Structure 1
Amino acid sequence: MLLEFSVGNYLSFKAKTTLSLAATSIKEHIDTNIFSTERSDLLKGAVIYGANASGKSNFIRAMSTMRRLILLSFEQSSADELDITPFLLNTETEKASSFFEVVFIIDDTRYRYGFEVDDKQIHSEWLFEAIKNVEKALFLREEDGIEVMKSFPEGKDLEERTRDNALFLAVADQFNGKIAKKIMQWFNNFITISGLSHEGYKGVTFEMLENKQTSLTLLDFYKKLDLGFDDITISKKPFDPKELPNDMPESFVKQLVTDLEGAFRIDIKTIHKKYNAKDKAVGNVEFDMRSQESAGTNKLFNISGPVFDVLNDGGVLVVDELDASLHPLLTLAITKLFNSKEFNRNNAQLIFATHDTNLLYYGNYRRDQIYFVEKDQYGVSNMYSLVEYKEEGKTIRKDRSFEKDYIEGRYGAIPFIGNLSNVVTEWQEK
């Protein structure tokens, strides 16, 4: 369960910026949008709005980067760079390290874990634990070394085994540390995906459709959305080099044959009813999912696996451009899964960036779930929630039309378009 994610000096975020899923005291949608733990009430997700290039994707990329650094840390060599880009538009930050921190709950214990890192090395790293209310350090890492506390015995004698560009948490996990293993599993269920490049996620959907229990849930979901087909068939075929184009260079063919040895090609077909002249059903027709179904149907299919996988595991799903290629009602259907007691029994959380303002009205989001990202004149991205926003010194009331206000620019975080007629006139005069 995620409480907070913070990032600083990374891409367009100069100062430390935090997204919190700790529910505030407001009373909206208490029965659906929040869940309770022994120590706090948490939100089932958050939606992020902002103009193009405001920094929405950068914030989500920060989450993805932290996850990547943690899960892949031990696999790298001492010569590998870490692919970290600080805020480059200021002399104070361009050569400084980036900051990442997450606060989360595992088995009713709160953890706070983070690190400061640049492209070459880890400059600091910390892990704190709070079994009750008092937080205590498990380990602290600085430039001059790593201090392991008595309450973290699994980290003892691993200090010298940790490379400058490796995370100590990942090293402890490799040596089967009990706490480190739990935290690494938590990050494994902290899924970040792109709503634009979603082809790579369909493998998860395949696996769920091959499982009898999860396939029924997915197929029922597709039917409720009325996507135009009645069923789906999946077939696996071993990779056959004879299916490669004849004009492909021989060296490339040889490389593909080597790389794809033992691999399978998966074909997905949608089943549609065929009708006669009197509109009577007379049979079925198979359509190829990729070439004969819409971009929106393909996207929904590809990301439905990760969506239901997270719902089943009670993890965290982070999606950039969730609404891309999707009808607003389909986007709404996905978001409502996470606020559903029927589908979200394990308190999964959904964080996503979108331009779909319909969700501000129909999505039934609380003010503390709505975030805006805005970039200032210095290229710095700033993020704030609607519950934090003040207008003439007062908070925004819950009965306001959030969508209308946002489009009118009352909350900021929208593009300044200017007078387009002047642009057209100048172009015509050239």
Structure 2
Amino acid sequence: MLVEMSVANFRSFREVQTFTLAKGKGDEMLATNTFDATAANDISLLRSAAIYGPNASGKSNLLLALQTMKQVVVDSAVSLQRGDKLPMTPFRLNSQSRQQPSEFEVTFLVGGVRYQYGFAATAERIHEEWLLAYPKGRAQRWFGRVWNPEDQRYDWELGNNLVGEKQLWQKSTRDNALFLSTAVQLNSEQLQPVFDWFKNTLRLANVGGWGPTFSASLCEGTDKERIMDFLRAADLHIDDVLVETHPFDPDALPSDMPEPMRDAIVGGMKDKKILDIKTIRMGDDGKPIAFDFEDESDGTQKLFSFAGPWIDSLTNGFVLFIDELHDNLHPRLVQFLVQLFHNPETNPNNAQLIFTTHETSILNQEVFRRDQIWFCEKDKSQATALYPLTDFSPRKGRENLEAAYLSGRYGALPFVRSLKQAG
């Protein structure tokens, strides 16, 4: 469960920007849009949040920040070799920022324990890394390290509450790898839940969402009826889905394709299967008619591709980040997808949905609490500012959020100028 995240000096984010799913003030929609995250009921979180803002305001960069953080956690101790570059992109429009590390921090809950983990890094090295845990409500600093440029070494702090082969993990941690990742690779059971949250619980998708493969794989097993329920609830008029697999046929490639390209494709497809997805609808004579998946509309293809990951996330309590959820989808379908997270029956394990969007028809107090709405815009230095609707204290249940946003009350709108006449 995600509590909060912060990012600084990464892409369009210059100063520290913080996004939170902690429940704010207000008692609206407590049973649907919020949940108690601990047995002591001392932390209440939101099931979803929507982020609005003009194009190029930095909305997508929030997702990219988490993607980068996840990539470094999961891959730095395994995929990178000594001297390899880390995927850091600092704020480039400021001469000082270009030379400074990017910084990331996430606070989350696993098994009722709150963790606060973060690191700062340039492309060359990790400059700082820290982990605090709250197993009994009070902070325990499990580890920390800071790069000392004068001595060209790290200053380490390995807390007494961290158990295991700490000295071995410290010696084995490269400059371009995380201590967290290295320790888990070397069998730290205590740090495994933190690593697994990034690897398994945190799920992210760009504008295109997912391909149909995962949803199709569910249609081949016992979860097919859940996929069909999803499609029927979305009113797609699909009566069945048939999935067949067949080996990749090299002869299907164009005959004039260059040989190196052909060899690369054939090598990449070795031992892989090709999916053939058919959607079935009933004709007026009651007989099933098969349609190629590629002949379906972009919206239908996207919604089918969403079905599997959506069901998987709701079932397992994942944290799901989606960029531009509205893309190719009707506003009612966007609301349908969001409400699946707000319904305790369809979301029994408190999965969370965070998405960017331009769809303003759902920007109302019948769908969201006021603390679930966020905005992005750029300041005069072209740096992204991230802020919540609650900064404006809209009237509970009365203010028309969509009209107020589109009128410019909350900012985060494109400033469109007149186009100069040609000639």
Helix, strand or coil: the match of 2:215? helix
> What is the rounded CA distance, in whole Å, between the counterparts of 1:410 and 1:298 in structure 2?
36
Relative to 1, partners in 2 of residues 1:362 and 1:203: Cα closer, same or farther, differing over 3 Å?
A: farther
Contact 2:163 2:190 in 1 (8 A): no
- 3-state SS, counterpart of residue 94 of structure 1: helix
Shift in Å, 1:363: 5.9
Task: Look up the equivalent residue of 2:345 and give its one-letter code.
Answer: E
Alignment of 1:348-359 (within 5 A): 348-359=351-362
Where does residue 344 of structure 1 map in the other structure?
347
TM-superposed deviation, 1:286 = 1.0
Is 1:72 aligned to residue 75 of structure 2? yes
Q: TM-score with structure 1 length normalisation? A: 0.92
**Partner of 1:396 in structure 2?**
394
Moved more, 85-94 or 356-365: 356-365
Query: Hey, what's the Cα distance between the residues in 2 that align with 1:155 and 1:416?
Result: 56
Alignment partners' CA distance in 2, 1:260 and 1:313: 31
Q: Please identify runs of 4+ aligned residues in structure 1 that moved more than 4 A.
A: none
Opposite residue 263 of structure 1, the aligned amino acid is K
Bigger drift between 19-28 and 350-359 goes to 19-28
Could you tell me how far apart the structure 1 residues matched to 2:352 and 2:19 are?
A: 13
Report if the CA contact (8 A) 2:6-2:16 is conserved: yes
SS in 2 for 1:127: strand
In structure 2, give the amino acid aligned to 1:194.
N
Instruction: Summarize deviations over 1:121-178 as a string: whole Å, max 9, x none.
Output: 1000000011132111000111124321121123512111011000110011111211
SS at match of 1:63: helix
Alignment check: 8 A CA contact 1:113 1:126 kept: yes
1:235 aligns with 2:233: no
2:163 matches 1:153 = yes
Deviation at 1:318, TM superposition (A): 0.2
Rounded Cα–Cα distance in structure 2 between residues aligned with 1:312 and 1:363: 25
How far off its partner does 1:258 sit? 2.1
- Matched residues in 2 for 1:341 and 1:70: separation? 31
What residue identity is the alignment partner of 1:258? G
1:126 corresponds to: 130
Say yes or no: does 1:106 pair with 2:117: no
Structure 2 residue matching 1:179: 3-state secondary structure: coil
User: Which of 278, 284, 289 pairs up with 1:285?
Assistant: 289
What pairs up with 1:49-198 in 2 under 5 angstroms?
49-74=52-77, 75-143=79-147, 144-154=154-164, 156-157=166-167, 158-187=169-198, 188-195=200-207, 197-198=208-209
Secondary structure of residue in 2 paired with 1:248: coil
Aligned-partner SS, 1:85:
coil
Aligned partners of 1:299 and 1:325 also within 8 Å: yes
Aligned AA (1:146): W
Match of 2:257 in 1: 248
Does the CA contact (< 8 Å) of 1:332 and 1:363 recur in 2? no
CA shift for structure 1 position 313 = 1.0
Give the Cα separation in 1 of the matches to 2:70 and 2:86: 12
1:30 aligned residue: 30
**Helix, strand or coil for the counterpart of 2:329?**
coil
Distance in 1 separating the partners of 2:140 and 2:349: 28
Q: Deviations over 1:45-85 (max 9, x none)?
A: 21000011111111111111111111111221112211211
Deviation at 1:282, TM superposition (A): 4.1
Superposed CA RMSD: 1.4
Task: Map Cα deviations across residues 244-302 of structure 1 (whole Å, 9 max, x no partner).
Answer: 22222233222322221111000111012223xxxxx2422211112x10011111112
Which secondary structure does the structure 2 equivalent of 1:178 belong to?
Answer: coil
How far is 1:118 from its partner? 0.9
Alignment length, in residue pairs?
410
| Deviation (angstroms), 1:94 | 1.3
Aligned to 1:278: none
Q: Summarize the Cα distance change of 1:215–1:145 in structure 2 as closer, same or farther, 3 Å threshold.
A: farther
Q: Deviations over 1:4-39 (max 9, x none)?
A: 011011111111111111101211111100000222
**1:17 matched to 2:17:** yes
Distance (Å, rounded) in 2 between the aligned partners of 1:381 and 1:229: 42
CA–CA distance in structure 2, aligned partners of residues 415 and 259 of structure 1: 43
1:219 partnered with 2:231: no
Asked whether the 8 Å contact 1:335–1:363 carries over to 2, the reply is no
- Whichever residue aligns with residue 252 of structure 1, its letter is M
**Do the aligned residues in 2 keep the contact of 1:5 with 1:101 (CA within 8 Å)?**
yes
Counterpart CA distance in 2 for 1:349 and 1:316 is 5
CA distance in 1, matches of 2:366, 2:129: 38
Tell me, which stretches of 5 or more residues in structure 1 are unaligned?
Answer: 276-280, 390-394
Say which is worse superposed, 153-162 or 400-409, in terms of deviation.
153-162
Quick one: distance in 1 between partners of 2:108 and 2:403? 34
- The answer to whether the 8 A contact 1:154-1:172 is kept is no
Aligned match for 1:271, one of 257, 275, 280: 280
Question: Secondary structure, in 3 states, of the residue corresponding to 1:83?
Answer: coil
* Correspondence for 1:392: none
